[in-house]
Structure 1
Amino acid sequence: MFAFIARQPVLDREKEVFAYELIFRDGKNNCYPDDERDATTAKLIAKNYLHLGLDDISCNKKSFINFQPERVLQGFPPSLDPENVIVELYDGVFNHDSLLSICKHVNKMGFKLAIEDHRLDPKWNDFLPYIDMIKVNTTQSDYETVAKNVHRYKDTNVQLIAEKIETQQDFAIYKDMGFDYFQGYFFARPEAVSQKNLPTSKLTLVELMGASSSASFDIDSINGVIEHDVGLSYMLLRFINNPMINKRYKITSLRHALNYMGEVEIKKFIALLALANLSDDKPSELIHLSLVRAKFCDLVGIEKNLGSNPPLGFLVGLFSLLDALLDQDMRSLIDKLPLVDEVKIALCGGQNDLSMYLLLVKAFESGNWLKVIRLAKILEIDQKRLHSLFNEAIIWGNGVRKSISPHFPESKT
């Protein structure tokens, strides 16, 4: 059970998610929590709040989990599967021989092992038979030293992970150098700011986005737009029959689906559909991240008694990565789209309640717990409650993403 946790994607060379690194709030230095206080906290949260299992938080991908070396010597919890968990260790205060002994121990238990070092120091030569990956913090590394040493690790089949990759240029540099995986939010930034027009094929989606952002609503006109597009009709039925959305009825017709969902949920679906279909040739993690943000901001809005028509919190979270999806400056992009003023202000960096929700979800994503605490006080929402809402958003995003896109594998890779 993981109650207080953040996750950060680790992407491969094709910008698809290979794994998630898990960051624990209650563990020492964001490590896997293992002391008595953490165990007590876990039981309390499990009893009172929605909680996550490892498969929920990692979306059935592999998980990087950081352990204190002394915790490794005590043994791993039996719930951790060597097929799906990659043990991450920091050099820390352990001497060469002690750390080497720990690496041998992890290797013998069948877990893959990642070590963090920002210089690719030759001291790791003795460790190479027992480790699988080395993580390089690119903000602390010397480019020339790293480039000179890459071949030593490639020759021994040790994979290299570049951390703190925050721009598309950084990604290209370390990809060309030969790195295998990349960690950072470079994929959530525009590749190049350009002033291109939306394709004509997207006009229907833009029309529907306008409906999702409007307080007025005409179900007949929405039905007319969707029923003339086979793809939209299929997506609507697939969405409404997802167990995360509808656990009681089997929906078979377009009109039945629209009537069952109701105005607010239709608006959310329209926004989801528009975003999913505007994201050609983009990493699927962008849509996944947008889904979690949408649900979290929506839940915070409900907690703060924000009106739901239109679903402003949902729209702000969902469209918060539009600039990366369409490779346009957010401000110029928002001017082209039919969004209400409150949403536009938040998305363009202005200050209002909705912008506070965005800051909060970004703090959760990065594991910036001090910022979470500060924003919780400002919003006057209990921190444990916020963790519960974030967990709920993750579970919802995991389920809904399969309904709006065929690109998410269900099995572990």
Structure 2
Amino acid sequence: MSERHIARIPPRHIEVLESLVDGTGPDSITQFVYLGRQPILDRDGALNAYELLFRAGAHNYAEISDDAQATAQVVARTIGGIGVPSVLGHHRGFVNMDRALLFNDIVHLMPPDRFVLEILETVRFDAHLARRLGELRRAGFLIALDDVSELSDELIGALPYVDIVKIDFLQTGRETLAKLASMVRNHGKTLLAEKVETREDFALARELGFDLFQGYFFARPQVLVAPRNRSSRPGLLRLLALLSRDAGIAELEAELKLNPSVVVQLLRLVNSSAFGLGRKIASLREAIIATGTRQIARWAQLLLYADGGDLPWSADPLVQLAGTRSRFMELAANWLRPSDEDFADAAFMTGIFSLVHVVLGSTPCEVLDKLGLAPQIRDAIVLRNGALGALLRLAEAAEEGDAASLAPGHDAPAGFEALTPDVLSELNLSAAAWFGAHIAEVAV
């Protein structure tokens, strides 16, 4: 990512005042959420965009244990916590993305005209990722490539699928900088000089034809703060249950009224530029209609994963297990039926709810019947019926770590033979890596 984590260089050239936050009290970490933003300037020194950065507290440096978790919380805080207009004004925001999040439905919570997806240097390019980037660009997103410091075959292969290339001025040798910049520019890409820390570097970047500039020479990141909105985990589960069975607006409205913090964030979401309504939404019913149930489900899932509830993620193994299981089932469903989003959504929901009875200290029948879950999801959990039940059995086998059992049974539905042990093992690792983002003790 684009900031420095250790060195501190006073801002020069352009002054940006940091927010003054009284975050020294013992309870301050539970009362506020924080977000960093660093200006990105054009050749004339005018503000062009911000890079949005994870902050665990009022201190102005990153403490990141997992890139995906940091990004999920940056998105949650920008859209639902502080609000897009307050964070970005009329500018775009660059957000760091790892491979798992690029493929996750959560990406579509971000308005494409307001956010730039910045691919971390750890992401491996392949044909699957190239197709996904094509989809995201067609949806209106700009794609930036982060921390480029040398010419490579991988860089050349990635250029057709990105719009902006960020060249790291601290890591790039001066003897290769001109050639690297020329090659990128000849491919028609926007050049962004990052980690510019001296006047000489700024002058060199301008001379080499860079379009955008970012670094401590201009300004350190600014820390924004907002009161924390705690979301009720049971309330989020009830909301997801309603969404899983296509509940009507009246039912959704009644449930949301019991969760004020979710309502506040939902109104911020729909009042952002994501929906291009050209007017502000004031009522809850209007917000539900304008947002759509799929967007509400995405938001509820993000809140459920980002909120540690009564325990931090690292101390809540049931939440970790449910999250990994739900992601595994979603990936497997996508593998079986790539064009069936409803099936993938139902698989994810099945995984989420398959351990809720343990979390709430009850039985599956009692909890799921009270929630009024969609019948196919309820039967998959209680009776292990249908395609969703078969996926749940596979998920449980994957958790046991027995490779021999990672194969659909003889009674599995048609098409399940495609889920070979090798495929299931790969999906299980991907799911574990994705949800590993949420086990660190960081609150939204």
> Normalization by structure 2: what TM-score?
0.37
